[in-house]
Structure 1
């Protein structure tokens, strides 16, 4: 009996040691801005767990079953500055603009320039745990690529009348990025696509690029003239004000370049 009790105690001790030694994602008690500063100094991602004050069953499941996986914890601890943001606290209200209209609870990946590279909801991770690592790895690769970028689409300034005159003089199409400040795909295009070297090289060489808030300045008149109903709306317009080609919605970089080439081919045919 004494030997059996000793064995039982030993097993319990070993089990406790395993649980105690288990890895987990290490979250830092710092603000988003402080995390970004650390990311700039280290080249790491910023991983944000944005949720409310109350921990739901889904959040607890992810914390206990996903954040504690050795491979997940190792990757995040080596490559991310991880923080919690309580969306119902003052820091949450400050952080809300970075959510880009996403609903929380949600997990987000940012680069050192506060570009939101990717996100995934807590509910999705709870159902499909591997998706978190997939998002994390692709976000790190994209952040590293962005760090090497030095170019961006150069948008012309001036009145719409001046843009038309420039397009006619240079025999180029105007690429009009018709956006609104509340449109999440518009925000993502501006931060994630317009800032890439290969996108910028093509658009800067081939178009008079114009980005315009459709609720300000010349925007409302163009909404009416070109019957813009959804955002972002991309229009390629000649110097006479005629729409040669149009498309819209969030586009991955290669698709966005292909769309521009299609627009340019319409101009040449006409």
Structure 2
């Protein structure tokens, strides 16, 4: 086998024609041809199942093929041509290089995309570089041939995509590109159109392609280098940001990082002793979210707040985060004091702070800082017990108690605090807000004075607002005669009767409703179902009881009362109620989707079961 180099002058340009002579015959596939054009080379590559190798603006040196292994490998895998980049054909070809600087060696799929390039200077120094590039090109081509799907980009970004992200609980993937960005073009041609990449990004994200000139998004998010990739939550906050030209595997890794960050706070559910050990070893505090069916609304809000990037970063850095669903977990033993709430503890398990009302993103971080800085509920309560009575401090303590789900304690501190002032002080907005939100003491002298002068508050806060507060205090007073003692509920019937006389004397509006409702609650707690049913029937006959409340009565009797006469009485209510609903639907000619008719009928059957 011999190799002959022939030089030709075509259009004043020196070109190298590499001829491989084998047994006196020339193989068309084993040429770097200045005569064969791009189209012909692709046709030949298709027929021979090879790639197209283009020497773009570079004249191959003789030593490039002095290594027989390289020569034969390139001959077996590629149809090679030389492209004069100064010619008209070269100018037409240049966009296929995806802005890659030349001189360069470039491998292509037949009639397809650029696969990989090799720098001409590197190849001149070490011809093995070209052989290695050819091997990589083969592998990339093999992968591309077995792929048919691409990332489905939305070509613009609007509120519609953010709404979709909210509804589908997805993250928006923002791909920032420029038309003159070589790396962008390469990613589009070689990564975005691979099945595993497309399937992953289409499944987990809402992909949006954003040109740097479109919509001001690049400026808004501070994008300066391209390609850039932003992962943004439905609230338009950045979860993860990165940039660059990557392999498919690396691009998938970046997407997985974004998915992990999109989860927000990293919660674990492990036995309590392991939580304490983990916190001790990592030198962190502990954040515990205890939830369940009763806390679904708070939990839903938590899924927004907990996924906020700033909140998640803060909590993951400073806390061991634990969540327990008390309706499912068997870890209830981690503390008998814990109920549905959020708790901040030190790494020895000592309570620092507690929150029931979930704040917004800023508020939750502030609650966490309270715990970290010794300003949590536990520390504030201890300071109050020690006699500290600064006004601002007391007002903060009341707010902390309310947010911790301790309304009775908040009411007690509010009563002690406001009773230091005259009733006229309540005309100031600051004190009215405290009174309106937390005061419940119907037996207080402050309330007695306020009640006498309540009409003076009408112009300040509105008649309805004032009257609602009056009714709320009277109702709280009525409920105060049922107390828990040593794990059992005890009803002060004598005190309750005296309270009823007071309401009559004060001519309190709706006093019968207030007293009957409170007496029903007391009867339920002590298990006096006869009194409960008698009062319920009175209310059912005299009031317009909401269907939800009526249904709740039946469920309670069905679950807790075994007296057949009481169960029969209750069954009668629901039989009549179901009949009334049916008659109303007939008159109106339509059936309500939210009708309680079926629920009432089932209760009738359940209550009458032997």
The TM-score by the shorter chain falls in which range?
Answer: 0.7 to 0.9
Separation in 1, partners of 2:224, 2:96: 25
Summarize deviations over 1:227-251 as a string: whole Å, max 9, x none.
1111011000111211111101111
Confirm or deny: 8 A CA contact 1:30 1:83 kept in the other structure: yes
SS in 2 for 1:95: helix
SS in 1 for 2:32: coil
**Which residue does the alignment assign to 1:257?**
252
Change (3 A) 1:229 1:259: same
**Which residue does the alignment assign to 2:328?**
none
Change (3 A) 1:113 1:237: farther
Separation in 2, partners of 1:234, 1:37: 37
Separation in 1, partners of 2:175, 2:78: 33
Separation in 2, partners of 1:239, 1:40: 47
What are structure 1's unaligned runs of at least 5 residues? 1-16, 53-58
Moved more, 158-167 or 83-92: 158-167
Separation in 2, partners of 1:190, 1:153: 9
Per-residue deviation at 1:20?
5.0
More RCO (CA 8 Å, sep 6+)? 1
Separation in 2, partners of 1:187, 1:246: 20
Separation in 2, partners of 1:35, 1:148: 23
Separation in 2, partners of 1:251, 1:186: 10
1:266 matched to 2:271: no
Separation in 1, partners of 2:52, 2:2: 29
Change (3 A) 1:257 1:78: same
Change (3 A) 1:156 1:19: closer
1:226 matched to 2:242: no
Per-residue deviation at 1:23?
4.0
**Which residue does the alignment assign to 2:102?**
104
Confirm or deny: 8 A CA contact 2:192 2:198 kept in the other structure: yes
**Which residue does the alignment assign to 2:387?**
none
Change (3 A) 1:239 1:19: closer
Per-residue deviation at 1:48?
0.1
Determine which of 164, 169, 188 is the counterpart of 1:190: 188
SS in 2 for 1:66: helix
Change (3 A) 1:19 1:229: closer
**Which residue does the alignment assign to 1:11?**
none
**Which residue does the alignment assign to 1:36?**
42
Per-residue deviation at 1:19?
5.3
Change (3 A) 1:172 1:30: same
Question: Mapping of 1:49-60 within 5 angstroms?
Answer: 49-51=55-57, 59=59
Per-residue deviation at 1:139?
0.7
**Which residue does the alignment assign to 2:205?**
207
Confirm or deny: 8 A CA contact 1:110 1:116 kept in the other structure: yes
Question: Mapping of 1:62-73 within 5 angstroms?
Answer: 62-73=60-71
Once superposed, which parts of structure 1, at least 4 consecutive aligned residues long, lie more than 6 Å away? none
Per-residue deviation at 1:38?
3.3
Determine which of 238, 250, 253 is the counterpart of 1:243: 238
Per-residue deviation at 1:161?
2.0
Per-residue deviation at 1:69?
3.1
**Which residue does the alignment assign to 2:591?**
none
Question: Mapping of 1:5-20 within 5 angstroms?
Answer: 18=2
Summarize deviations over 1:141-194 as a string: whole Å, max 9, x none.
211221111222111345422221211111100111100010111111111110
Separation in 1, partners of 2:109, 2:250: 23
Separation in 2, partners of 1:78, 1:251: 29
Determine which of 163, 166, 179 is the counterpart of 1:168: 166
Confirm or deny: 8 A CA contact 2:147 2:194 kept in the other structure: yes
Separation in 2, partners of 1:126, 1:158: 45
Confirm or deny: 8 A CA contact 1:234 1:248 kept in the other structure: yes
Confirm or deny: 8 A CA contact 1:23 1:68 kept in the other structure: no
1:46 matched to 2:52: yes
TM-score (ref. length: structure 2): 0.38
Confirm or deny: 8 A CA contact 1:50 1:104 kept in the other structure: yes
What are structure 2's unaligned runs of at least 5 residues? 6-18, 22-29, 265-306, 308-610
Separation in 1, partners of 2:4, 2:81: 22
Determine which of 20, 26, 31 is the counterpart of 1:26: 31
**Which residue does the alignment assign to 1:81?**
79
Confirm or deny: 8 A CA contact 1:177 1:211 kept in the other structure: yes
Change (3 A) 1:134 1:19: closer
Change (3 A) 1:171 1:114: same
TM-score (ref. length: structure 1): 0.83
Summarize deviations over 1:72-124 as a string: whole Å, max 9, x none.
22222221111111000000110111122222221100112521111112211
Separation in 2, partners of 1:208, 1:19: 56
